[in-house]
């Protein structure tokens, strides 16, 4: 666990339903289940057979859609919805998704999980060509590319647009006749198909199907475009086939533990990561303590494999609000203690081994170790159920720039000293792949996207400045960013 500033943040959850009388209410519930994928803003667009309706808000799903009158403003049997945590484009209402536009043939709204690695360059070309952009989000490029396609059928124009974008995407869109979904050629971001009362549903994770009692039909394949109409569901594969490389961090942290991702149950995989970690890192300790909540499954696996008892040495306060309740720096400094407190009865006088899913900047790990020592722990060992994060992400995850990644600028011993623990160890990349059920990582064809550990970026990075390695920092992109503000 890290506090908001010291965490990799997944950007965005998407949801869509076609032909259901309660489309808006179902979408709101689905988004509620996907709240962990984005807390900055949320939105729903519906079509009632004649008109499109849109409700978009900054803030959480519960605050936005718990009022029945808002849902009543969203009539129609088809809907799409989105939760956002921004990567490209600041947190303002004009960037809240779904983004909608009237185009030839009627309206089209789209929402996106992921990040386009050539979105800024495409946008520059569109603006130079006279396009008028309503937002600063990379997703809007897709609206323009569909609108400008010379193809006749909507699906051909949509595919035309997909062929021009790079990077990671799980997309859900709605027109006056259909709901569409698409997953990037590597399947980096997840997208699943569900069915409820004979209606098809698209969602980022199966937990969004569970909450509404929908059946999990299957996952959208990498490079697949699905079209849902009254006739049912049809598939298109517009890209040359290639092996899937889903983001391995979805399994480590992003997806909810109760979700099934690409046929793999998240909870059991995280336990397996903890078991591999115990096998790889012999640890002498009296008690295993998870850093809640995300460290819990791996800690259970670690305890089972090592035989060291598992105890809740850290208690999480689930009612901590956002930063606005931290009025002064001294209160903010208490940050971690607002969310977590040491369970002295468990840790006092003990050699404890803390289990967490990852370390980003390391600032929160420092506070957690200090809290354990102040609660009387005799020794504090730290074990991380993923390899060191050494490279930034450009595929929809808000990672600090490389210089702010602790493992990119410190070796293991320096990290141990910085965090202040007695020993520190990370799961190896091959240990992670074994926990995922693979023999080991195949360096020629890695089975997952794992570049935050390996630096092996799976797609071109057009908008990434080769020198600084920063996204949108190339001379071309800087001028555009200056332009869009």
Whether 12 is catalytic is yes
Q: Is 273 in the site for ligand SF4 (CB under 6 A)?
A: no
* Of residues 46 and 255, the one with the C-beta less far from ligand SF4: 255
* Chain-centre distance for alpha carbon 300: 24
* Of residues 52 and 395, the one with the C-beta less far from ligand SF4: 395
**3 state SS of 318:** coil
Binding mask 347-386 for ligand SF4 (x = CB under 6 A): ----------------------------------------
* Chain-centre distance for alpha carbon 108: 24
Q: Is 85 in the site for ligand SF4 (CB under 6 A)?
A: no
Q: Is 432 in the site for ligand SF4 (CB under 6 A)?
A: no
* Of residues 65 and 254, the one with the C-beta less far from ligand SF4: 254
Q: What values do phi and psi take at 257, rounded to 5?
A: -60, -25
Among 138, 356, 393, 463, binds ligand SF4 (CB under 6 A): 393
Distances (CA, A) of 378 to 1, 282, 369: 22, 18, 11
Verify cis geometry, omega within 30 degrees of 0, for the bond prior to 98. Answer: yes
* Chain-centre distance for alpha carbon 63: 21
Which segment (83-91, 98-106, 221-229, 392-400) binds ligand SF4 by CB under 6 A? 392-400
Among 36, 84, 350, 451, binds ligand SF4 (CB under 6 A): 451
Q: Between vectors from CA 82 to CA 226 and to CA 248, what angle results, nearest 5°?
A: 70
* Pairwise CA distance, residues 186 & 250, whole Å: 14
Q: Is 248 in the site for ligand SF4 (CB under 6 A)?
A: yes
Q: Measured from the CB of residue 401, what is the shortest distance to ligand SF4 in angstroms?
A: 13
Distances (CA, A) of 244 to 168, 224, 421: 12, 11, 38
Binding mask 151-190 for ligand SF4 (x = CB under 6 A): -------------------------------------x--
Identify the bridge partners of residue 293 per DSSP, sorted by sequence position.
none
* Pairwise CA distance, residues 471 & 88, whole Å: 9
Please tell me what DSSP assigns to residue 449: B
Q: Is 266 in the site for ligand SF4 (CB under 6 A)?
A: no
Q: Is 255 in the site for ligand SF4 (CB under 6 A)?
A: no
* Of residues 65 and 395, the one with the C-beta less far from ligand SF4: 395
Q: Is 71 in the site for ligand SF4 (CB under 6 A)?
A: no
Which segment (273-281, 350-358, 389-397, 402-410) binds ligand SF4 by CB under 6 A? 389-397
* Pairwise CA distance, residues 145 & 158, whole Å: 8
Identify the bridge partners of residue 383 per DSSP, sorted by sequence position.
355, 425
- Strand ranges, E, within 117-208: 167-174, 179-183, 192-196, 199-203
* Of residues 336 and 452, the one with the C-beta less far from ligand SF4: 452
What is Dmax (Cα atoms) for the chain?
Answer: 73
Locate 461 and state its tokens. Answer: 């990075």
Q: Is 116 in the site for ligand SF4 (CB under 6 A)?
A: no
* Pairwise CA distance, residues 461 & 458, whole Å: 9
Among 310, 395, 426, 471, binds ligand SF4 (CB under 6 A): 395
Q: Which residues of 454-474 are buried (b: 16+ CB within 10 A; e: fewer)?
A: beebbbebbbbbeeebbbbbb
* Of residues 24 and 407, the one with the C-beta less far from ligand SF4: 407
Q: Is 191 in the site for ligand SF4 (CB under 6 A)?
A: no
Among 162, 452, 461, 464, binds ligand SF4 (CB under 6 A): 452
Q: Measured from the CB of residue 287, what is the shortest distance to ligand SF4 in angstroms?
A: 31
Active site residues: 12
Q: Summarize as ranges the residues that interact with ligand SF4 (CB under 6 A).
A: 188, 247-249, 393, 395, 397, 449-452
């Amino acid at each position: 666990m890290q506090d908001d500033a010291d965490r990799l943040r997944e950007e965005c959850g998407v949801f869509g339903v076609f032909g259901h009388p309660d489309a808006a209410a179902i979408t709101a519930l689905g988004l509620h289940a996907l709240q962990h994928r984005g807390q900055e803003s949320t939105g729903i667009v519906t079509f009632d057979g004649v008109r499109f309706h849109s409700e978009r808000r900054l803030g959480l799903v519960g605050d936005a859609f718990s009022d029945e009158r808002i849902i009543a403003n969203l009539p129609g049997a088809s809907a799409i919805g989105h939760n956002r945590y921004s990567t490209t484009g600041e947190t303002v209402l004009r960037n809240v998704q779904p983004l909608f536009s009237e185009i030839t043939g009627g309206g089209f709204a789209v929402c996106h999980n992921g990040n386009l690695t050539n979105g800024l360059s495409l946008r520059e070309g569109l603006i130079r060509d006279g396009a008028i952009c309503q937002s600063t989000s990379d997703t809007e490029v897709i609206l323009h590319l569909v609108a400008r396609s010379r193809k006749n059928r909507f699906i051909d124009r949509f595919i035309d647009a997909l062929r021009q974008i790079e990077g990671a995407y799980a997309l859900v869109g709605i027109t006056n006749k259909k709901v569409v979904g698409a997953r990037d050629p590597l399947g980096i971001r997840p997208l699943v198909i569900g069915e409820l009362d004979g209606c098809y549903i698209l969602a980022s994770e199966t937990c969004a199907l569970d909450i509404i009692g929908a059946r999990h039909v299957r996952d959208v394949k990498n490079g697949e475009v699905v079209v849902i109409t009254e006739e049912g569901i049809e598939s298109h594969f517009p890209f040359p086939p290639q092996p899937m490389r889903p983001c391995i961090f979805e399994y480590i942290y992003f997806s909810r533990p109760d979700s099934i991702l690409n046929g793999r149950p998240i909870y059991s995989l995280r336990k397996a990561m903890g078991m591999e970690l115990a096998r790889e890192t012999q640890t002498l300790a009296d008690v295993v303590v998870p850093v809640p909540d995300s460290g819990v499954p791996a800690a259970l696996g670690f305890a089972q494999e090592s035989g060291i008892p598992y105890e809740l040495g850290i208690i999480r306060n689930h009612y901590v609000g956002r930063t606005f309740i931290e009025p002064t720096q001294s209160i903010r400094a208490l940050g971690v203690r607002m969310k977590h407190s040491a369970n002295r009865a468990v840790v006092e006088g003990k050699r404890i081994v803390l289990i967490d899913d990852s370390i980003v900047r390391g600032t929160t790990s420092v506070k957690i170790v200090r809290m354990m020592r102040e609660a009387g722990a005799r020794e504090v060992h730290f074990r991380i159920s993923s390899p060191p994060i050494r490279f930034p992400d450009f595929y929809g995850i808000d990672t600090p720039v490389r210089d702010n990644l602790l493992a990119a600028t410190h070796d293991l011993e320096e990290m141990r000293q910085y965090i202040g623990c007695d020993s520190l160890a990370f799961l190896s990349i091959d240990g992670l792949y074994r926990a995922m059920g693979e023999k080991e990582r195949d360096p020629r064809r890695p089975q997952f996207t794992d570049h935050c550990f390996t630096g092996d970026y799976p797609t071109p990075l057009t908008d990434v400045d080769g020198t600084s390695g920063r996204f949108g920092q190339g001379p071309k992109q800087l001028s555009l960013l200056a332009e869009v503000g």
